[in-house]
Structure 1
Amino acid sequence: MIRLQEYQPGDVVLPAGELGKGFCILESGVLEVVRDSKVLSEIDMKGSIFGELSEILGLKRDANIIAKTEAKVRHVEESVADIVRKNPKVAIKLIKTLGRRLYRMNRIAAKEIEDKDTHNISNTLGVTVLVVDDKPNIIRQLSDIFQRSEWVVKSASDEASALRACEDSTFSAILISMALPNDTAVDLRRKLKTNHNVLNTPVIGMIVKGDEVAQKKALDAGFADCVTKPFDANKTEAVMYKVMNLDSSARYFKFVDDYLFFKLPPELSTFVLDDIKENMDKRIRNTINEGILKLIIDVSFLEEVDENAIEIVGEFAEKIEDMKLPMRGAIIATGEDADMWNNLDGCEEWGICEDLDDAKEHLAKDPEELEEE
């Protein structure tokens, strides 16, 4: 018996924990293989066979097959043995399918062994992003944006150079322009899924703002998300942090030596303000957990000291004061109005410093020594 079934994003095509019978054939769409909430791989090629191993090995499925996009799947609900007896050509296709999987798993295993000694070192090198676009200006713009988070940007101008780069290196994320000629972006996305170096690397589409057709094409092809041109630096970064599962608050907060460093960006858009406020409590809790009792807030990069800037610093200081934390603070501020930061609740005793070295020196002094000054 063969039945064709349609699925919506999030629908379970084959559940884990069941002993399967027969197999499935993907007609359209993209599916994900998910175990313990982690996406192991994707199935996106029309005609792909999956789900047969459960019956062949006599084992219950240990992963869920879930629709990532709208999908159509043919369920062949007959024992594999009976199907093969009736149609030997099916046996050949099954063997080829299993062979490709085994080949890919062997390559992944070999790569893991090869990288074993350097794995920990590479993890300390931070985020590396591959940008695939034939427009040099786009590469420069993204490089400038990602420099704020100290990410490394590599570039490729076409499909061939992108594939070569992925054969030689691993990446934290890959950005592909949906405007590449001859529908290259979708074809490249499909080919990257067979590359062991970037098998689980999030791939993001770059589209022109308002181009809903390109956005739908990207998401249907299995892109993790899209960023729009012209780039909004904050929103672009936010998408990247999300797809890479990174803490977005690291753009503003970080631990340096024995203090928490909170740096306000040049522009405080509504988006940035909401992002900071959303992460503020979590960062204070993390600071307490780390046993850190020193804080430096850098407002010197602000293009304009407006009500939003005063509000966000004041709210942060008030939270610390309300929690009765024995935390000492310093604010890096320049200009004639620098001293006005001491007027905020919770900031009355904080030092106003010209630069980071000055702030660190201030916090290194004994409180009694500061009172004498």
Structure 2
Amino acid sequence: MAVKILTVDDSKTIRMIVAKAFRPYECEVLEASNGVEGLAVASKEKPNVIILDVTMPVMDGPEMLAKLKSNPDLRSIPVVMLTAEAGKENVLRIAKMGVRDYLVKPFKEELIVERVGRIVELKPRGDSAQKHRRIDEEIKVLVVDDKPAIIDHIKKGLSDLPWHIEGVGQINQAFDYAQQNVVDVILISLSLPSDAGFVLYQKFKGTVKTRNTPILGMCVKIANEEQTRAQQLGFTGIVTKPIDIVDLRSKIVRALNLDTSFLYFEHRDTSLVVKIPVEMSQAVIREIESCLQQETTKAVDAGLDKVILDLTKVTVVDINLVELGLAIRQVSQDLSLKFAVLGSAEIQTQCRNFQETKDWKLAESFEKAMEILK
């Protein structure tokens, strides 16, 4: 259920700023221009939070707050007060009114989000039913490492994707950047001086805007203590140095639940073709396996009756590839789909060297594979 936020202010501009600030979150922003309207909306809608201006016509903020506190049905609603006066006496006066928090006008959007986020949980809009983004869509990655070579390696390694990689060396820079920009995933070096990487992680998790952002830690493979500490704190995952770009990409894909199925699965004629790329790795195998059940089920629903494992880009058949092929064949059999393997004469020979693949139907061309599966 969406969080209900009631903004009560005689300034339409302020109400617009508040509505815009919460647009990225699962919120319903209700509006009123004075205390009388505010009480009416609060009684009807029972908001989770009220953002209340001090100075308004008809009924001002303090009077509305007093009436809220005297109403048994409304007294527990948290109130964030807005005031144009920053003096100590005014702040103390507001604090005595029983408000949860306050802000001095003018204020930045992220500040009102931060204040409200301390009171209620703000979830990014569409978290529950959002359509998965594809790996070939723009993804914004923030890399925090004091070694420029690491940042350059990541930028170069991911340059074939339309991803924006922002690299910074200082944690204050990183925090400010994440507050001022939308960031999809964050990579933090765990070897920054004075535990700065862990400090930054906790700052990100304590801030509404980045609370739900996946964060991956980066450290050398033998840094067991750093890895254990990161896992205990709740890092989304660990990327070990030297960084394997394929492994990094795969971990970002999993962290953001990106759709990679189109890279490996294709409907052609009456067949589902499973395309194995040139660079085969455990990360690629995991991506294919994670999509396999869904894609074969979709193939059946679409009226396809064959599965063809395409090894035309492969140069070596190893046990990992054989095990993947066996898994694809098993799923195909479970769904009554015919199965064949497409590959060069050399690849076919390599396949036959494995006892498990002796009965695979092999073909050098797609047309030949279709023919033997009739």
Structure 1-normalised TM-score? 0.52
- Give the deviation of 1:297 after TM superposition: 3.1
CA offsets per residue over residues 149-173 of structure 1, 9 Å max, x none? x462503222344345434532321
Answering whether residue 185 of structure 2 is matched by residue 176 of structure 1, we say: no
Answering whether residue 229 of structure 2 is matched by residue 198 of structure 1, we say: no
Taking the aligned partners of 2:267 and 2:148, their CA distance within structure 1 comes to: 35
Correspondence for 2:60? none
Taking the aligned partners of 1:95 and 1:213, their CA distance within structure 2 comes to: 44
1:257–1:231 Cα change, 3 Å: same
Identity %: 21
SS of the counterpart of 2:364?
Answer: strand
CA offsets per residue over residues 154-202 of structure 1, 9 Å max, x none? 0322234434543453232110112223433234334434666534211
Answering whether residue 143 of structure 2 is matched by residue 134 of structure 1, we say: no
Q: CA RMSD in A?
A: 5.1
Correspondence for 1:166? 178
1:227–1:98 Cα change, 3 Å: farther
- Give the deviation of 1:235 after TM superposition: 5.0
1:59–1:89 Cα change, 3 Å: closer
Taking the aligned partners of 1:146 and 1:307, their CA distance within structure 2 comes to: 28
| Structure number with larger C-alpha Rg | 2
Taking the aligned partners of 1:141 and 1:278, their CA distance within structure 2 comes to: 28
Number of residue pairs aligned between Structure 1 and Structure 2:
270
Give the residue type in structure 2 aligned to 1:192. Answer: F
Give the residue type in structure 1 aligned to 2:275. Answer: F
Tell me if structure 2 keeps the 8 A contact 1:253–1:261: yes
CA offsets per residue over residues 209-232 of structure 1, 9 Å max, x none? 232332354356553332222335
SS of the counterpart of 1:103?
Answer: helix
Matched ranges for 1:51-200 at <5 A:
91=95, 95=99, 97=101, 99=103, 103-104=112-113, 125-143=137-155, 146=158, 150=161, 152-158=163-169, 159-193=171-205, 197-200=209-212
CA offsets per residue over residues 59-79 of structure 1, 9 Å max, x none? 699xxxxxxxxxxxxxxxxxx
1:267–1:160 Cα change, 3 Å: same
Gaps of 5+ in 1: 1-38, 41-51, 62-87, 113-118, 354-358
CA offsets per residue over residues 12-66 of structure 1, 9 Å max, x none? xxxxxxxxxxxxxxxxxxxxxxxxxxx99xxxxxxxxxxx98x9855699xxxxx
Among 236, 239, 251, which residue is 1:224 paired with? Answer: 236
Taking the aligned partners of 2:341 and 2:97, their CA distance within structure 1 comes to: 68
1:338–1:272 Cα change, 3 Å: closer
Gaps of 5+ in 2: 1-24, 27-47, 50-67, 79-91, 105-109, 118-122, 124-129
Structure 2-normalised TM-score? 0.52
Correspondence for 1:261? 274
Matched ranges for 1:35-46 at <5 A:
none
Tell me if structure 2 keeps the 8 A contact 1:207–1:226: yes
